[in-house]
Amino acid sequence: MDPGHLGTAFHGGGHYENFPVASWLLPAEMRGALLALYRFARTGDDLADEGNLDPEVRQAGLNALRAGLRGHNTQSIKPAEYQEIGGALRLELIARQLDTLQAEKLLDAFEMDVLHQPYPTISDLMIYCRHSADPVGRMMLAAAKIIDDPNADCPVTAASDAICSGLQLVNFSQDMGQDFARQRVYVPQQWWPAGWLPAAGAQALSDQVKHQWAEQMAQLGQDQIVRGAELVSKIRRSARGPRARLALEIAMVIEGGLAISRRVLANPLAVWRRSPVLSRADLAVIVLQAMMTFIHPRRYSA
pLDDT digits (tens, 9 = 90+) for 236-273: 887 777 677 888 889 989 999 999 999 999 999 999 99
Cα–Cα distance, 41 to 22 (Å, whole number): 14
Which DSSP category does 17 fall into? S
The mean pLDDT of 7-14, rounded to a whole number, is 36
Query: What sign does the dihedral 97-130-202-276 (CA atoms) show?
Result: negative
Among 88, 87, 107, 98, residue whose Cα is nearest residue 144: 98
- Structure confidence at residue 72 (pLDDT): 87
Question: Cα–Cα distance between 6 and 181 in angstroms, integer?
Answer: 20
Task: Report the pLDDT averaged over residues 164-174.
Answer: 96
Least confident range of 54-58, 128-132, 205-209: 54-58
pLDDT of residue 1: 29
Report the pLDDT value the prediction gives residue 53, as an integer from 0 to 100. 86
> Is the pLDDT score of 111 beyond 80?
yes
Q: Summarize the confidence of residues 21-34 as an average pLDDT.
A: 69
Rounded Cα–Cα distance for residues 278 and 44 (Å): 27
The arithmetic mean of pLDDT across residues 214-230, rounded, is: 96
Q: Assess contact for 15 and 64: CB atoms under 8 A.
A: no
Print burial letters for 207-238: b (CB count within 10 Å at least 16), e (below 16).
eebbbbbbbbbbbbbbebbbbbbbbbbbbbee
Averaged pLDDT of the chain: 87
